[in-house]
């Protein structure tokens, strides 16, 4: 007889297979689930050395699987080195005051970094420029990232430090200039802002490991046990250095979430280097998983690709998009799939979503159906004619419910009344056979899972007001939790190992302070995680 190391009991065990929680227990042996039982009877695998913990009415369930995380940026932006208070700014002037205060309070920081400003937070005010930062912080580089991380707002010192110049050759995105050709301080989309982002992420190795350790504690406290690095890292020495730092943490026993790495799609048809990464990083906790690409940017700055012109910019279907020509991107998608890698593509609006689905259809024609879990990321807006194609093409819709709350009616300004009927169309995609995978896009929104669950179930803002113009797209709690566990695990091709409480699966288990299924949906926001177990080891207890 094999005896369990731990037995977790509750009158609310939710295995993400049955429709509702049941009274029962979960037995853990080593890093695996040994048994899941119903009722009050003690299972036969409990021995004299088994630790038994009764959680009463608190809900036991699988650890949350976040399908879309920017891990390295998230660790940095959640650290003491970054001012996130600017997320709360209501105007450019208020944002500047906040960052000036942060700079004054941190005289030893060689560069000032902020995260969280957003045009819709400022009443859709005009975009800022370098002059307002230069006026208060002229002597240190300042890098302020927008909440969606698609624009970096710099002062003159930062532009100089990063080596940005107006006619710098870039394949996509835009380097902002004034009418006279002078740099404005705004850098749009990853290709254009990469030199600035390299400076933002520049920390010594031991300092970076300290940031990671702190970040992993935060992740564990939120009940997240599986995450990703979705920034589309290029094949550089800096990328390999960062990946190896995480491998060192794993070897030290400090990696308390399963991390999946994604590297760059654009411009590549030879993925030999990615295959080398896959050999080096292929453990149950750290693995090279796939390839990430971008078709468009964000609606805020009109860099989202639309099928028809923007409602408030009728001469425009997106500035500088697609970021890579369709024919060129088709070659990259075909090659990545042929090399055995899933592809995940950032697509905000309906034009980008259609293009991604076309690319995956083209890959099927070129390679056959390889069942590689290709995915479309975000899908803030979709044309109804494309909704059924997720099932037809076996493509995963990877979406982030909390993005609903970022919108502040921006979608109706940009897209108009007809198109917003299909903004964040969770219900329509699910009903058409799409298998939703939920995440946060951290650090765009926080890791706390309960606002994400609340947003999907209620489609309300945190104050209870409507968060969208199509409330019928809400989901049930059961549908939402499955999209945040087993179906998100499917995005990482790990649904056989993670995402449900079943014998043989990894013991990634959490306990929530109350039974979600017995709550008024508005009370979901009051919940918290009281225990997180990853790989059979308790990594957080409240």
> DSSP for 188-231?
ESHHHHHHHHHHHT---HHHHHHHHHHHHHHHHHTTEEEEEEEE
The CA distance from 372 to 341, in Å, is: 7
User: 310 - beta bridge partners?
Assistant: 313
Structure tokens of 328? 């060129």
Helix axes 237-251, 205-221, angle to 10 degrees: 60
Mean pLDDT of 186-191: 92
Say whether 4 sits in a helix, a strand or coil. Answer: coil
The CA distance from 328 to 359, in Å, is: 10
71, containing H or E segment: helix 71-77
Quick one: 205-491 is in which CATH superfamily? Metal-dependent hydrolases (3.20.20.140)
Whether 296 shows a pLDDT value over 70: the answer reads yes
Residue with tokens 């109350």: 514
In tens, the pLDDT along 139-163 reads 999 999 998 888 999 999 999 999 9
The CA distance from 160 to 165, in Å, is: 8
Mean pLDDT of 204-215: 91
The answer to whether 31 touches 507, Cβ cutoff 8 Å, is: yes
Say whether 332 sits in a helix, a strand or coil. Answer: helix
Cα–Cα nearest to 191, from 236, 150, 135, 140: 150
pLDDT at 212: 94
The answer to whether 502 touches 490, Cβ cutoff 8 Å, is: no
Phi, psi of 491 (to 5 degrees): -65, -30
Q: In what order do the strands lie in the sheet containing 142-146?
A: 82-83, 112-117, 142-146, 151-154, 183-188, 174-177
pLDDT at 166: 92
Whether 222 shows a pLDDT value over 70: the answer reads yes
Question: Model-level pTM?
Answer: 0.90
pLDDT at 342: 98
Where does the pLDDT of residue 172 fall: very low under 50, low under 70, confident under 90, or very high at 90 and above? confident
Provide the pairing of β-strand 224-233 with 64-65.
parallel
In tens, the pLDDT along 27-63 reads 999 999 999 999 988 788 999 999 999 999 999 999 9
Structure tokens of 343? 């592809």
The answer to whether 145 touches 77, Cβ cutoff 8 Å, is: yes
User: Which of these ranges, 278-287, 351-360, 409-418, 488-497, has the smallest mean pLDDT?
Assistant: 409-418
Peptide bond into 322 cis (omega under 30): yes
Q: What topology does CATH give the domain 6-62+504-541?
A: Urease, subunit C; domain 1 (2.30.40)
Helix axes 350-367, 326-338, angle to 10 degrees: 50
Q: What single string gives the DSSP state of each residue in 11-22?
A: EEE--SSSSS-E
The CA distance from 112 to 84, in Å, is: 11
- CB neighbour burial string for 279-312, b if at least 16 within 10 angstroms, e if fewer: eebeeebbbbbbbbbbbbbbbbbbbbbbbeebbe
Residue with tokens 């943490």: 249
The CA distance from 68 to 259, in Å, is: 11
- CB neighbour burial string for 95-120, b if at least 16 within 10 angstroms, e if fewer: bbebbbebbeeeeebebbbbbbbbbb
pLDDT at 429: 98
Q: What topology does CATH give the domain 82-200?
A: Diaminopimelate Epimerase; Chain A, domain 1 (3.10.310)
The CA distance from 530 to 347, in Å, is: 35
Label residue 30 exposed, middle or buried (CB < 10 Å: 0-12, 13-18, 19+). middle
The CA distance from 29 to 128, in Å, is: 56
Say whether 177 sits in a helix, a strand or coil. Answer: strand
Domain with CATH 3.10.310.70 in the chain: 82-200
In tens, the pLDDT along 78-112 reads 888 999 999 999 999 999 999 999 999 999 999 99
Whether 234 shows a pLDDT value over 70: the answer reads yes
Structure tokens of 70? 């920017």
The CA distance from 167 to 159, in Å, is: 13
pLDDT at 408: 64
Mean pLDDT of 326-346: 98
479, containing H or E segment: helix 477-483
CA angle at residue 443 from 171 to 336, to 5 degrees?
Answer: 45
Label residue 314 exposed, middle or buried (CB < 10 Å: 0-12, 13-18, 19+). exposed
Mean pLDDT of 409-415: 87
The CA distance from 238 to 271, in Å, is: 18
* 368 Cβ contact partners less than 8 Å away, ≥ 6 residues apart: none
Cα–Cα nearest to 78, from 443, 406, 451, 440: 443
The CA distance from 32 to 28, in Å, is: 6
């Amino acid at each position: 007889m094999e005896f369990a190391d731990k037995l977790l009991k509750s009158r609310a065990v939710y295995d993400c297979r049955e429709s509702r929680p049941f009274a029962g227990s979960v037995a853990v042996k080593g890093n695996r689930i040994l048994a899941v039982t119903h009722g009050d009877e003690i299972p036969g695998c409990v021995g004299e050395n088994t630790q038994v913990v009764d959680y009463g009415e608190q809900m036991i369930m699988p650890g949350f699987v976040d399908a879309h995380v920017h891990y390295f940026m998230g660790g940095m932006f959640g650290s003491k080195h970054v001012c996130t208070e600017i997320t709360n700014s209501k105007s450019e002037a208020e944002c500047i005051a906040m960052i000036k205060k942060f700079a004054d309070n941190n005289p030893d920081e060689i560069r000032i970094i902020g995260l969280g400003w957003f045009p819709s937070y400022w009443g859709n005010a005009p975009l800022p420029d370098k002059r307002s930062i230069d006026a208060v912080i002229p002597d240190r580089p300042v890098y302020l990232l927008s909440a969606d991380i698609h624009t970096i707002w710099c002062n003159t010192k930062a532009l100089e430090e990063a080596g940005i110049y107006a006619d710098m050759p870039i394949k996509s995105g835009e380097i902002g200039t004034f009418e006279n050709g002078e740099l404005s301080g705004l850098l749009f989309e990853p290709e254009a802002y990469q030199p600035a982002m390299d400076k933002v992420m520049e920390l010594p190795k031991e300092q970076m490991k300290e940031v990671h350790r702190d970040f992993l504690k935060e992740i564990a406290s939120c009940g997240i046990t599986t995450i990703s690095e979705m920034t589309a890292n290029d094949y550089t020495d800096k990328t390999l250095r960062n990946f190896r730092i995480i491998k060192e943490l794993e070897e030290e026993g400090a990696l308390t979430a399963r991390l999946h790495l994604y590297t760059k799609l654009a411009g590549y048809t030879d993925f030999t280097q990615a295959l080398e990464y896959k050999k080096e990083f292929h453990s149950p906790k750290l693995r090279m998983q796939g390839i990430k690409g971008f078709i468009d940017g964000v609606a805020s700055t009109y860099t989202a690709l639309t099928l028809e012109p923007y409602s408030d910019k009728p001469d425009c279907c997106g500035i500088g998009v697609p970021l890579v020509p369709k024919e060129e991107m088709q070659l990259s998608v075909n090659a990545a799939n042929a090399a055995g890698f899933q592809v995940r593509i950032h697509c905000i609006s309906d034009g980008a979503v259609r293009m991604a689905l076309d690319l995956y259809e083209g890959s099927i024609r070129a390679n056959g159906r390889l069942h590689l879990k290709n995915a479309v990321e975000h899908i803030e807006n979709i044309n109804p004619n494309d909704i059924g194609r997720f099932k037809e093409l076996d493509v995963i819709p990877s979406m982030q419910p909390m993005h609903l709350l970022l919108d502040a009616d921006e979608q109706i300004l940009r897209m108009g009344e007809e198109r917003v009927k299909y903004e964040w169309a969770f219900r329509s995609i699910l009903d058409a056979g799409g298998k939703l995978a939920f995440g946060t896009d951290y650090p765009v929104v926080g890791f706390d899972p309960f606002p994400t669950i609340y947003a999907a179930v209620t489609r309300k803002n945190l104050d209870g007001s409507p968060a969208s113009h199509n409330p019928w797209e809400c989901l049930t709690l059961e549908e939402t939790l499955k999209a945040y566990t087993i179906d998100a695990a499917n995005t990482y091709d790990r649904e056989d190992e993670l995402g449900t409480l079943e014998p043989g699966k990894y013991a990634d288990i959490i306990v929530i302070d109350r039974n979600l299924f017995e709550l008024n949906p508005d009370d979901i926001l009051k919940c918290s995680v009281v225990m997180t177990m990853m790989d059979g080891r308790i990594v957080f207890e409240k």
